[in-house]
Structure 1
Amino acid sequence: MKAVAKLFVFVLCLECLFAETPIIGGIFDYDDMDSKAALLASAKRFEFAASIKDVSRRGAILETSELVCQLAQEGVIGIIDGTSGRSTEHVQAICDVLELPLIVLQHNDLYTRNWSLINLYPSPTAFNMVLEKLIAAKNWHNFTIIYEKGHSMIKAQDLLKLSNPIEKEAVSVRELSGDDYREVLINAKHSGYVNFVVDCPSNKIEEVLLQAQQVDLMADEHSYIFITPDLFSVDLARYRYGGVNMTGFRLTNIQKDEELWDFTARYNEETGYSLDPENMKTKILLIHDAVKMFSKALSKVAATAASLNCELYESWTYGSSIFNFMKTNKVQGLTRSLLFDGFGQRTNVVFDILELTPAGNQTIGTWSNNELVISRPIVSNAEIAEETIMKNKTFKVLISKTGPYAFVKESSQKLEGNDRYEGFTIDLIEKIADILGFSYEFEVETDYGTLDPVTKKWDGMVLKLREEKADFAICDFTITAERQSGIDFSTPFMSLGVGILYKEPSKQPPEMFQFMAVFSDEVWYNMVLVQSALGVVMIFVGRISHKEWQNPVPCVEQPEELSNQFSLANSVWLIIGSVMQQGSEIAPIALAPRVITSVWWFFTMVIVASYVGTLVAFLTIEKNVMPFQTIEELYAHKSISYGCKSKGSTKQFFQDSSNPIYQKMYEKMRRKGWLVQDNDIGVDLVENSTYAFFMESTSIEYVTERHCDLLQIGGLLDSKSYGIGMKKGSPYKFLIDGALIKLKETGEIQKLKDIWWKEKRGGGKCGEQRKDDDQQLGMKHMMGPYVVLGVGCCIGIVISTLDMLWGVFKRSVKYKTTFKYELIEELKFAIKFNGDIKPVKRPPKMSGSVEALAEEEAKDEVRSLRSIRSSDTNKTHHSHRSRHSSSSLSVAFARRRDYS
C-alpha cells in the first residue's frame, strides 16, 4: 500500500510539473500596441501565457472570426476582445457556441441582451444615472450634448428627457464629424449655451479641447462634463488657468491602490514608458482587471484547458462554469468593484467626480451605489477663488529631523501630533498654512529619495510623493534635475551651495621676531641704506660748512688747528638717536646740517608712528595656519580624509560632476568608506579627527554658530536651492509658490532663519566678545624684544671687554709691566663699583736725571690734556657755550697736581 501511495504522489508531482500554463487569448487592432503590452504585463503578473491576435483592419469580420477559431484551437481559457463595433457580435457568437468566456472592454452600440459576454466598461445605464444627478447638482437649466459621429449617444440619451420648454429648460444636440469640429463648435457657441456634455472616444479628447479653445469656448463662463473616464489621463495644464470648468469621472483610486502602482511599473517596464498612474487609460486598466477575473475564476473552478474546433462545434466543458463565476462573484480590480447584472453589464459602478477649475484639479464628489455624494459644494466659476483648492483641507507633510529645519521639541510633558516638532521648516509651513487656510499633519522620513540606476525606482520622500502617500515634503530638500524628473518643487525658499567644514586650527602665537614683520624686508633694507647714505651726507655737509669747524681749545685765541664734530661715529650716532626717539649730544651748528637733520627727524617721526601703530596688531593677532585653502589643495593633501553624506544631493554633486578632481574624490570617498549616514556624524568626525566634511552652506552656517572650533574653508563648490516637494502636476504648486513669494517679500523667511540659526538652540554662541584677558600681551608676544636687549647687552659687554684688554695691553707696554699685573689692577678697580675718578697709571721707578723725569711727565701731561680736550669736545650737549668753557680743563689740571 505504501508503494502505491508513493507512486500516486509521484504521478501527481509529475502531472503538476508538466502541467501547461493557462493561456488567455486577446484580439486587438493591429496598431493597438498599448493594449497588447497591457495584456502581456497582466499575464505575467497572474502567471498566464498570452496569445495575441492582430486584426489587420477595423471591421474585418471574417478575419476576426478566423482568429477566434485559432485561439480556441490553441486551448485558451477565455478571450479578451479589444476591438469594437460589428466584429464583436461575431466574436460573441462563436464564443457562445464554443462556451469560451468572452470579456469586452468598450461599450458597443449594437449590444443586445441575448449576447453572452461580460463587459467591463461601465454600462450606459450607469452613465445616464450619474449624468442626470450631476447636472441637477450643477443646476444646469440648459446645455448642449456634443457627441462623436458613429455613436448612438446611448450613454446620454436620458438627458434628452430633461428638456422642458415650459420651465425654460432646453437641451440641444451637436454631432462632431470628420477631423475638423470647429464649425460645429462655433454653431454651439452662437446658440448661447455655455454648458456642454461631451461624449467622444478618449483618443479624441485632446483634439476636441484644442479646437474648442480655438473658437473661444474655453473661457470662464464655460463648463464641460466629459463622459469618458479618461479626461484626467491627458495633460490639461494649458486649460487650467483659462478659467474653464471641466468635470469628469475616474474609475481608479490613485491614492490608496498599491496594486495600481505595481501594475503601472510593470506596464512601463513592458512598454518603456514612464507613465504615472493618473495617466493610465481606462482600457489598459480594464485589461488588467479582465486577467485578474480569469485568475480568480481558475482559483475557484478546477478547470483544464482544451483544444476546440470551430468546424466541429465543440464546446469547452468548464467554460460555462468559469463564465458564471465571473459574472456572479465580486472581484476588486484596479477600476474598483467588478459587479455585473444578469446580462454581464456593469451597472453598479464607483466613480470619483473630479473638476478642473481655476483653482486646479480637485475631487468634488463620489458616485457609489447609484448615489451621488458631493464633498464640496458646487459653485459657479466666478465664485471659485484660488484658495478654495486648499481651504479647510488637511495635508500630510513629510519632514526630516535635521537641525535647524526640524527638531523633536524638548518638553517635560508628553506631546502629541504636530506639537512634537519645532524648527525652521515647521514654522515656515505654519505661515504658509495661515496664508492658504489649510491644516496639516507631519510624518518623519529620513530618506529624501534617490532613483535606483538599475531598477529605475524611487525611494524615500520622492516615492511617497509620487504614490500620493504624502502631499508635501518640506526640509532641506535640494532641488536637483533628477528629482525634478520624478516630482515637482515649489519656488526655492533658500539658496545655498556645497562648502567644506573643517576644524579651526590652533592659533599660532607670534614668532620671536614678529616685530620685525611690521615692515617688509624691502623697507628694512632701504632704511639701512638711507641711514648709511645720510651719514655720508652729514659728514660731507659738516666738512664743507665752516661753522662746523670749531676751536678745540677756546683759551687759545689763535689756534693752530680746528676740529669738526661730524665724524663717521658721531653722524651715525645722531641718526640712530633720532630713529630711536632718544636724541643725542651731537647738535648741528651750521644751517645746512640743521635743515638736513630737521628733515630726517620728520622722516623718523612718520616711520616710528607707522611702526608703533602697526606693531600692536602684529603682536596681539594670532593667525590661523590653514592646512588647505581650496578643494584642490585638500585633494592633494595626504593626511586629511574627507567625505559627505552617503545619500543626498551633495554626494550626487560629486558623483555626476564633470570635473575629474571631483570624480576622483568621490571614488576615494566611496572606496575608503569616508561617506557618513548623516550630518551629525560628519560634524563629530570633523571635531575629533583630521577630517573635512562636504556640507551644504546653510548647514555649515548653523553648525559654526554652535561649534566655535569649526569653520568653513574656501568658497562654495556649486549653487543650488531648497524647495517644497510635491507630486508631478500638483494643483497646489502655484498656490505654494505664491505664498513663498509673499513671505520672501515681507522678510518673514529671513526672520525665521535668523531665529533658528542665530538665536534658538544655542545660536549666537560663537559671536560673543573675547574677555579682556585675551587682549593682554603675554611673554610669548614680547620675547623678541627681550632677546634683542639681551643680545645687544652681550655685544656691548664683549666690545667693552675687548676695549679693556686693548687698554691693558697698551699700559703694560708703556709702563713696561706684565699684562697679567695690569689686568688684575684693572679688574680690582672695576669691581669696586665706587668712585668716578680713575688715577692715571705712573711707572713705579724711572732712572735718569730730574730733567728727564720732568720731560717725561710733561709729555704725559700733554697727552693727558689732549685726551681730556677730545673727551670734552665729544661731550658737547645741548648748549654750544659749554664746549668753550675751561672748567673741565682746570679740573683735570688740579686732579693731576693732586695725584702728583
Structure 2
Amino acid sequence: MIYILNKMKKNVFLIMFVLTYVPAYNKSASLKVGAIFHAGDENYHKAFITAIEDLKKDRLSKIELEPRIIWINSTIDSFKTAHEVCNLVTEGVAGIFGPANSYTRDIVSSITAKFYIPHIEYTYRQTEESKIWSNEVNMYPDNKYVAKDLKMLPVFTILNGTYVNITGFQMISSEKVPLIINTIEEAVMYDAVNHFKEALNVLSTKDLEIQPAPLACNDTEKYEIGLEVASLLRDLSRKGELTGHIEFDEEGRRTFNASIISFQLHEYVHTQNWNSQEGLTVLKDSDSSKNYADTIFSSKNFIVITKLGAPYVMEVKDGSTGENQVTIKDKKYEGYCIDLMHKIGELLKFKYTFELVEDKQYGSYDPIKKSWNGLVQRILDRKADLAICDLTITFERKNAVDFTMPFMTLGISILFSQPEDKEPNLFSFLSPLSTDVWMYMATAYLAVSLMLLFQARMAPGEWDNPHPCNSEPEELENNFNLMNSMWLTMGSLMQQGSDILPKAPSIRMVAGMWWFFVLIMVSSYTANLAAFLTAVKMDVSINSADDLAKQTKVKYGALKGGSTSSFFEHSNHTTYQRMWTAMNDAKPSVFTTSNDEGVERVRTGKRGYAFLMESTSIEYTVQKHCGLTQVGGLLDSKGYGIAMPLNSPYRTAISGAVLKLQESGELGQLKEHWWKKVEADPGCNTDRGGGGGADADALKMSNVGGVFLVLMCGCGVSFVIALCEFAWNVRKVAVEEKENSDVPSHRSLPSPSPN
C-alpha cells in the first residue's frame, strides 16, 4: 500500500515506502497481541476481550490492540502449543498473554524468550528466581509476598464463644467491577491488558519503533524493542483498574496489596489496608466498630495471662490483704500489672480473670520449630485474650500479636555490683611512690648532705672568722657540719626554710640542684597522691557498654530468649555485635532463665559478672539490694505493652484507657507506689545516700591515719631524745662539779723575793 501525504505547508510532497504495517506515530496504529487459552478458560477469554473492547473507547489513545486468540483443547499437547506460538510469532504480535496452565506456559515462555517477545501471565505461579525470563512479566502478586503476607493476616477471631469477628481480605479494590469478572485471576487479566496498553502508550511518545515485524521460529531475527517493553511493564507503577496498586520489586515480582474486611454486627466494615512495603495500615474506626467493641466489653470475661516477676506480679506471702489482689490456683497475687488491669477494667467496665503462663517465658520465636512459646503462644492459640507483665514490645512480637500503646517506657542498661568498702592501708600516703623511689630519695638525701659537708670543707668561702673583732684569728669555723648539712637538705625537702645558707658558688650549685630535685619530687608526689585517693574512692572499672566490650575479666549476659538478647542479636552496632559474640562464646553460659537468676549472679559474682536488663527492673532491684547499682545510660528505648491477638477489636479502646491513665498521672503514681514499697535486704543502710554532700567525698581517718602515726612517733622520738639530752647534760654537770670538788681549795703564796 502506498500512502501519499500532501502537506500544504511549503508545498512539500513526502512519498512513503510500501509498508506492511502502520507507523507507531499514526493515530490509527494497530498492534497485534496474542492470547492462548485452554478448555475451561472461557472466563479468562471474556475478561481479555472485555478489556480490549473497553480500551477501544479511549479516543485519546494512539494505540489500538488487535487480539489474536488461540484455543488449544489439550493442556498436555506440547507440539500443538509450540506450533500455535510460532504462528503468533509469524503474525508479528507485540506480546502474548497466557496460558493459565503451568505445563504449556513454560513452552510459551521459552519460545517468547528466544525472540524477546513480552510474555504476560495473570495467574498464581510458584516461581523460582532462576526461572524468571527477562521478557516475562507476571501480573499476579508473587508467591514470595503472598505466602509471607497471608501468614500475617488474621482470618477469624472467636470472642467469648458468642461473638465471631470474621475477618477476610480482598484484592479487588474497585467498586465498578464489570459483571463478567468473577475471580481474582480474571481481574488480574483485565488489569494486565490495561497495563500493557499503558506501557505501549509511554513508548509511543518516544522516537522508538514499537510495531513488531513478522518473525519465523527457524530464524534468528528478534523483536528488538520487546525487552524494553517488558522492562517498562515492571518499572511502570500505577493504580490498576481493579486490583489496586500495580508495582514490582527489583526482581520483577509484583507486590501484594489487599483490603482487610471485617463482618461486624451483620455488616462488612473496611478496617485496614495491607501492602508488602508498609504492612498493615489501620483505618479510622467506624461507628459500627465502636459499637461492636462496646458490646464485647459489656458481655465478655477477659482471660488475662501473665508471668511472675517483681514488682509487676508477685505472690502474697505475708498473709496481707490488698484491695486489688487476685487469686490464681488458691494463691493470692498482687503487683503493678494487676493494679493497672484493675484500673483499665474500671474505665472500660469489663471483667477479667488472671492466669499464669506455664512455661514461665515471655515469648520468643524458634526458627527451627517455627513456633512461639510463653505468653505470645498463649495469645496465638486463642487461650488468652490479653497478656500483661513486663513484656517488651519488639518488631518480631508485633508481627505475631497486637500491642496497646506502651504503659511504661524504658531501655536496656547494665546491672553491676557496687565496689566493696576496703579498709585503706595505714601507710597509704606512701603509695603514690614505689618503695624503690623512696629508697632512692633517702639515698639522695644522705648523699647530698655529705656532699655539702665535704665541699663546704673544701670551699674557702664557707670558712668564717668566729671573732670579727680579731683580724688575725688563730682558728676559722665552718657552719656546714654534718648536722647542719642534713638540716638544710631536710628543710628544703619539707618545703621549709633554713637559717643556714651556702655562700660559696660550689655549695650554692649543690643546694640549687637539690632544691630543683625536691621541687619535681614533691610536685609529683602531691599530684599522684590526689589521683590515687580519688581512684581508691571511685573504684569503678565499668562505666558503659563500651567498657564491657573492651575487657574480658568481667563476664556479662542477659535473659535467654528475651527482648534484651534479641536486641544484641539483631543489632548492627559494632560494639553490640561484639558483645553478642562474646556472650554466645562464653563458657559457662552467661545467659539466665530468669531476671532473678541474673540478679543473684551479679550479687554473688564479686564484681565478676554484669547483667543486662530493662532499666525499670534495675531501678527496682537497686532499691531492694543495696550492694547493686546501675552502670551507664540506656542502650535503647522501648516500652512495655499489653499483648492481644492481631486485629483485635478492643485494642484501640484499651490503648485509649492506658493513655487516659498516663495523662491523669495514675501510671506514675502506680510506679512510685510499687517501686518504693520494696523491702530492702536485712543489713542494708536504710538511709542510703542520706549522708551525701561534702561528707560523702571527705577523707576519713583510715585514709590519713598513717600520717598521724608518723607525727606521734616523731614527737615520741623527739621526746626520748630530749630526755637523753637532759640526762646527758645532768651527768655532764655532775661530773664537772665532782671534779671541781676534788681539787683542794687554797690560796697560792707569793714566791720569796731574792735578797
If the length of structure 2 is used for normalisation, what is the TM-score?
Answer: 0.46
If the length of structure 1 is used for normalisation, what is the TM-score?
Answer: 0.40
> Greater Rg, structure 1 or structure 2?
1
